């Protein structure tokens, strides 16, 4: 997710998103409307699984990773911006999470995101996904920003992942860039959303909207949000919030 937006700014955007009427639906994509998250229904009433994760203390978070069987290494220096940095070295709930150019899982992130990915991994395994390749996970923040705010949000805080490719058990790969077939500015979920009839588009849209409905992440951004997200799903855990932002 590009750009610096604080929690209050995102909350304001969320309220605007809920209040905004459906945009004109003159789209070329065919297919039945998606009905996962009806427009106008307050997303804050969704089950906030992400909020339960974000409320964990560092000790509780690390214990949750151990209980989930995730292999990880504690990081005690050199990873600025994260409250509880870990390096995950195994699949998460049966799903391999790795960089698009990587060959094996060795991913640095905050413990809170790792626990959120445990729940997401279980969600993905139930849908036949065995691997997620991402474009970005932790990105070091600017030195002056880190000096002012040692614990950061979004990518600098190790709390967001940009998921680009989903690999199924049979080897099928769904690439967000190639297969999502969204429309910039159009509703991504809800009865007014339109979905291409192509199998990859329908799978990815269902994956995105079902995870949003389950409240697995506080922020879920699709290619419909803006050009900067045209090639990935931005999935983020946020501290001290009780809202969801889905676009």
Indicate whether 8 pLDDT > 90: no
* pLDDT band at 15; cut points 50, 70, 90: very low
Please state, in angstroms and rounded to a whole number, the distance separating the CA atoms of residues 195 and 198.
8
**For position 100, what pLDDT does the model report?**
82
Task: Determine the average pLDDT of the residues in 235-242.
Answer: 88
Provide the pLDDT for residue 211.
96
Which of 195, 196, 200, 211 minimizes the C-alpha distance to 246? 211
The better pLDDT of the pair 169, 20 is held by 169
pLDDT digits (tens, 9 = 90+) for 111-158: 999 999 999 999 999 999 999 999 988 766 555 655 555 565 677 889
Distance between start and end Cα atoms, the chain: 12
56 C-beta neighbours (distance < 10 Å), count: 16
Pair of tokens at residue 126: 């139930």
pLDDT exceeds cutoff 60 at 216: yes
Q: What are phi and psi of 178, to 5 degrees?
A: -85, -35
pTM (2 d.p.): 0.78
Using alpha carbons, select from 10, 3, 79 the residue that is nearest to residue 237: 10
Average pLDDT over residues 72-90: 85
Rounded mean pLDDT of the chain?
80
């Amino acid at each position: 997710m590009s750009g610096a937006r604080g929690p209050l700014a995102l909350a304001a955007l969320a309220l605007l998103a809920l209040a905004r009427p459906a945009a004109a639906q003159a789209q070329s994509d065919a297919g039945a409307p998606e009905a996962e998250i009806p427009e106008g229904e307050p997303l804050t009433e969704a089950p906030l699984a992400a909020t339960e994760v974000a409320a964990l203390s560092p000790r509780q978070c690390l214990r949750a990773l151990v209980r989930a069987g995730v292999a990880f290494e504690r990081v005690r220096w050199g990873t600025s911006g994260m409250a509880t940095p870990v390096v995950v070295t195994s699949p998460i709930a049966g799903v391999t999470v790795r960089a698009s150019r990587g060959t094996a899982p060795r991913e640095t992130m905050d413990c809170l995101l790792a626990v959120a990915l445990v729940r997401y991994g279980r969600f993905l395994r139930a849908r036949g996904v065995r691997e997620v390749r991402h474009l970005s996970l932790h990105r070091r923040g600017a030195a002056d920003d880190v000096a002012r705010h040692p614990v950061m949000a979004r990518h600098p805080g190790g709390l967001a992942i940009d998921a680009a490719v989903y690999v199924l058990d049979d080897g099928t790969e769904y690439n967000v860039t190639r297969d999502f077939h969204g429309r910039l500015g159009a509703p991504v979920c809800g009865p007014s959303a339109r979905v291409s009839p192509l199998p990859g588009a329908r799978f990815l849209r269902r994956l995105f909207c079902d995870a949003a409905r389950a409240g697995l992440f506080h922020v879920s951004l699709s290619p419909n949000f803006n050009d900067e997200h045209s090639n990935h799903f931005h999935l983020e855990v946020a501290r001290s919030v009780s809202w969801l932002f889905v676009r």
